[in-house]
Chain A
């Protein structure tokens, strides 16, 4: 699975980091960073949940 993170839209709420710490991080400015290019299957569900929870709509699932 691949995720797209729009750093221009992110408001740094950190929901993604709390939900799927293996997939998302925040840089020094608090803006989302992807830790992996391909989300491994064991993290896919958490990664997908983070997409749904992100308050700013900065995250998208690109392909499964």
Chain B
């Protein structure tokens, strides 16, 4: 990590809390400039709850499609054709109506009802992870035995990734999201990943299975190009992987630090749903989502922003805005935090939210019931937060019971 870039303000945290400066920005002017991660021009950082929601619900003035993420100072790393190819199927890289077309093909797979049908299989995956923990014996690393394998197995199974490929796949995804890696290496990993996905899509086209990829090919095979199928599969695998995993790790740590609330999640089934929502809000693992680009001159928080500027959304700051929720710095699982923006807002609101909720809803209480005396196996101040990552998480979480 010697050459690690300095973290922009919206990614800086003090354990679970956005740094003070972020809160000060929100509570004073509401907007500040931050350097953009990819060596591009500086971006406007929006921090207030109302402003963040306003930007996210206005795809017309704040475009995802016009934001180019792989431009670096060393000149273009990809040809135009390659860039177009990489963009195909990536819902987050399009505006309506192109976005709508892709999203509509996938929504049937993520309905609340469809997720309920998946429930028994998720329960099995969770129970088998808990068996593995027990077998390994204490202390274990909760991240590698519980938080990572559960979402990973769920999404691999949903999409039809062969079992044998899963280890390698997990490793590659980890590197893809590690912003401390030099740009060249990140680009190499992203090429590797694409190759793998292309093979997966080829296999599914030859013999479409009962999984999501098979369904997409059967129902929309004629409307979707190969590149789009590869893009959709990559986005789902990556988005469905590290996110829920990081919530499981950080969420468990948060509960361990609030033992009264942990007990309620363990013992009161009605508390689980509100607890999941409050943990999503309080932790806000996604620092900012995809930068938007202004399509015209706009005004946010009383400030005029010209057309063509990058706008970055500080989701953790918004979720702790006192004008959104009372006593925002406190974790209070009882309140359920309706309206939080941890899954985003507007047309790009997380497609996988029903799945992520279902996984957390099953996994947290199952863990706490299997190990009612779950405790940290290292001093509290030695927990290893994963700072240099597009999604906030823990490198490891040694626990005992």
Contacts and interface: CB of A to CB of B under 8 A. Distances in A.
Interface of A: 11-15, 17-19, 26, 28-31, 49, 52-53, 55-57
Contacts of B351: 13
A18 B107 contact: no
Contact of B338 (A17, A19, A29): A19
Given A11-B100, A11-B349, A30-B110, 9 more contacts: A11-B347, A12-B104, A13-B353, A29-B104, A29-B107, A30-B109, A53-B339, A55-B345, A55-B349
A14 B103 contact: no
B328 to A, nearest CB: 18
A19 B100 CA distance: 24
B240 to A, nearest CB: 16
13 contacts: A12-B107, A13-B350, A13-B354, A14-B353, A15-B349, A17-B113, A18-B112, A26-B113, A30-B109, A52-B339, A55-B57, A56-B349, A57-B57
Per DSSP, chain A at the interface is loop
A53 B112 contact: no
B111 interface: yes
A55 B346 contact: yes
Nearest to B341: A55
Given A14-B353, A52-B339, A53-B339, A30 B346 contact: no
Contacts of A29: 104, 107-108
B338 A13 contact: no
A17 B346 CA distance: 17
B111 A26 contact: yes
B103 A11 contact: yes
A11 B107 contact: yes
A49 B353 contact: no
B149 interface: no
Interface string B342-381: 0111110111011001000000000000000000000000
Contacts of A28: 108
A30 B108 contact: yes
Nearest to A56: B347
Contacts of A55: 57, 343-347, 349
A14 B57 CA distance: 17
A18 B349 CA distance: 15
Contacts of B109: 30
Interface string B95-120: 00000100110011111110000000
Interface centre among A31, A52, A55, A56 (most CB of B within 10 A): A55
Given A55-B346, A56-B347, A57-B57, A12 B339 contact: no
A30 B107 contact: yes
B108 A13 contact: no
A30 B111 contact: yes
Contacts of A57: 57, 346
B338 A31 contact: no
B112 A14 contact: yes
A14 B350 CA distance: 11
Contacts of A13: 349-351, 353-354
A12 B110 contact: yes
A12 B107 CA distance: 6
The 3 A-B pairs at the shortest CB distance, nearest first, are namely A12-B107, A30-B107, A55-B349
A19 B354 CA distance: 12
B347 A12 contact: no
A17 B347 contact: no
A29 B338 CA distance: 25
